[in-house]
Amino acid sequence: MNTSAASPAESKDSAKGVAWRSLLGRYGTLVALAVLLLVNVLITPNFLQWQTLFVNISQVATIAIVAVGMTLVIATGGIDLSVGAVMALSGALAPLIFGSAFGMANPVIGLMLAIALPLVAAMACGLFNGIMISVLRVQPIIATLILFISGRGIAQVLTNGNLQTFSNPAFSYLGTGRVFGLPFQGWLAVAIAAVAFWLVTRTIHGRHLLAVGGNERAAELSGVPVRRVKIGVYIICAFLSGIAGLVVVAINSASDAARNGNLMELDAIAAAVVGGALLQGGRAPVFGALLGAVIIQLVKYTLLANGIEDEVALIAKAGIIVAAVALQQGRRE
């Protein structure tokens, strides 16, 4: 995605420090990943084991799936704070459906509905966000704040706030299945990123998406259906959050509306930004988001595996977010 052709010309007429910053901004993500891996190989006990890989893949997959959606939203110059709440909602719905009397009587149809209906509900949330933002012209932060506040509440109302445990091997495949020896949801995340990459780079919709983020007014004047593009992107983001919500529930064989997707909006935004998404819009580095999710997961894992508390990991995450965005600013200059 990053062409190095322009960099010699740039570094010639800019001061040395700025060139450094721009270089770091360009390849910072990869450098950070390499450093993280090296540090882990050196200090983390039992890092080079399959088990470590599986744990990290299954944890990073949900962040990556949501981060891809977030990247598309950010590419239009928006933001979606409701992703965690949407995860909670779709995760709460699934066990309700396959665990209902109808679902028990018709396991196959029940299972299909338990995957389809939560995703439809998630897309309805995205439609709501999209209409608020593009038709009513509410700022994305505020528009998605509404579902951020009430979405998790709706999920808890549906479940009475109870933890729903279940055993449904077919559904749990989403979270525990293996394909070619690697966790199913890892493949799912990569497949989703590949589709999103294709969408952005090879289709007219992708052009529209980037045009809206680059300059909305200009896009509108040149005939881009701005409203439809924006509504569509929030629906996609909510749909992917819905999938992530189902995966989390399947991993745990339990659905907890209070915890499912909690703070996911922060992880997803951080992953997107670390991966090179510009908050002003106009760029959609989909595989960057995947990389960003991996870095955030690795930092979390490194700290935890070395006995450093969860709380310190929060501070580290904060530092990563600030550093990534500050470097972005450097790149723009």
- 195: Cα separation from own chain's centroid: 14
In the complex, minimum distance from the CB of residue 325 to other proteins, in angstroms, rounded to a whole number:
4
113 or 278: CB nearest other proteins: 278
What string of DSSP letters covers 114-174? HHHHHHHHHHHHHHHHHHHHHTS---HHHHHHHHHHHHHHHHHHHHTT--EE---HHHHHH
**How far is residue 59's CA from residue 293's CA, in Å, rounded to a whole number?**
10
Nearer to other proteins by Cβ, of 203 and 329: the residue is 329
Of 104 and 318, the one with the shorter C-beta distance to other proteins is: 318
| Least distance (Å) between residue 140 CB and other proteins | 10
- Can you say whether the dihedral through the CA atoms of 24, 26, 27, 29 is positive or negative? positive
User: Least separation, in Å, of the C-beta of 158 and other proteins?
Assistant: 9
Compare residues 111 and 155 and give the one whose CB is closer to other proteins.
155
State the nearest-atom distance from the C-beta of 245 to other proteins, in Å. Answer: 17
Q: Which residue has the tokens 């608020």?
A: 132
SS3 260: coil
| Shortest Å, Cβ 63 to other proteins | 15
Query: Smallest distance, Å, CB 22 to other proteins?
Result: 14
What residue ranges bind other proteins (CB under 8 A)? 79, 132, 136-139, 141-143, 145-154, 156-157, 160-161, 266, 269, 273, 279, 309-315, 317-319, 321-322, 325-326, 329
Alpha-carbon separation of residue 292 from 126, 216, 242, 276 (angstroms): 24, 27, 20, 8
β partners of residue 182: 179
Which of 155, 286 has the CB closer to other proteins? 155
Beta carbon nearer to other proteins, 87 or 154: 154
